[in-house]
A and B are shown apart, each in its own frame.
Chain A
Amino acid sequence: DQQVKQNSPSLSVQEGRISILNCDYTNSMFDYFLWYKKYPAEGPTFLISISSIKDKNEDGRFTVFLNKSAKHLSLHIVPSQPGDSAVYFCAARLTGGGNKLTFGTGTQLKVEL
């Protein structure tokens, strides 16, 4: 049972435009959500996070939105740059579950010139 889902395996956007990556979850006990970015042959690196008590968190070009009623979160990248091309993973942490993370299957973002 996939508790964190990223239904778009790939996304292609033009440089300078907005990239929107989506993530859905099924477990209402998740209390913290994170986005990780992964380049080939490297481990995931932390990008941005949001607590379940908030609906928006912004860090430079990156903004994460959380809609708890819809169990949906999204990552917005504005403006998109070629260096943003990578696989993006959505992850969630369970209340009382320690700090272990449940990941989605990832979305491959390609930013084209």
Chain B
Amino acid sequence: GAGVSQSPRYKVAKRGQDVALRCDPISGHVSLFWYQQALGQGPEFLTYFQNEAQLDKSGLPSDRFFAERPEGSVSTLKIQRTQQEDSAVYLCASSFYDRALDLSDNEQFFGPGTRLTVL
């Protein structure tokens, strides 16, 4: 069965370039999350969508980071004017959210991540 997919798997950018990272969640999953994982650290929350609505963007580190999910399925994380400190693995996760379900059943399924290196 298809899991969460992310593309590209690896991206090298020159400082100052804009990048776009894509996430294809599991079909039918309502919730979508983006996390940033720096080397030697755990994933850190960036932003959360429920369908096309961005309900929480409190983790986005600066206004250079922008995420969208216009049709409630595929999501794109865009980073403008990349800096060296943006180098990290960007993880996408999705979960099936149904208001009838207990949130404790709401497992997040992660994609393999996109490794971004900014030179």
What residues of chain A have their CB less than 8 Å away from a CB belonging to chain B? 4, 6, 32, 36, 41-46, 49, 51, 89, 91, 93, 98-106
Contacts and interface: CB of A to CB of B under 8 A. Distances in A.
B69 to A, nearest CB: 15
Contact of A98 (B56, B109, B111, B113): B56
Interface residues of B, number: 28
B110 A51 contact: no
Contacts, number: 58
Nearest to A41: B112
Interface in B1-50: 4, 31, 33, 35, 40-45, 48
B67 interface: no
When A and B form their complex, which 6 residue pairs have the shortest distance between CB atoms, in order from nearest? A43-B110, A103-B42, A100-B45, A44-B110, A103-B43, A46-B107
Contacts of A98: 48, 55-56
Interface of B: 4, 31, 33, 35, 40-45, 48, 55-56, 59, 91, 93, 95, 97, 103-104, 106-113
12 contacts: A4-B42, A32-B104, A43-B93, A89-B43, A99-B31, A99-B97, A101-B43, A101-B45, A102-B45, A103-B44, A106-B41, A106-B42
Interface of A is mostly: strand
Contacts of B33: 99-101
A43 B113 contact: yes
B44 A99 contact: no
A99 B113 contact: no
A99 B108 contact: yes
Contacts of A100: 33, 45, 48, 56, 59
Contacts of A89: 42-43
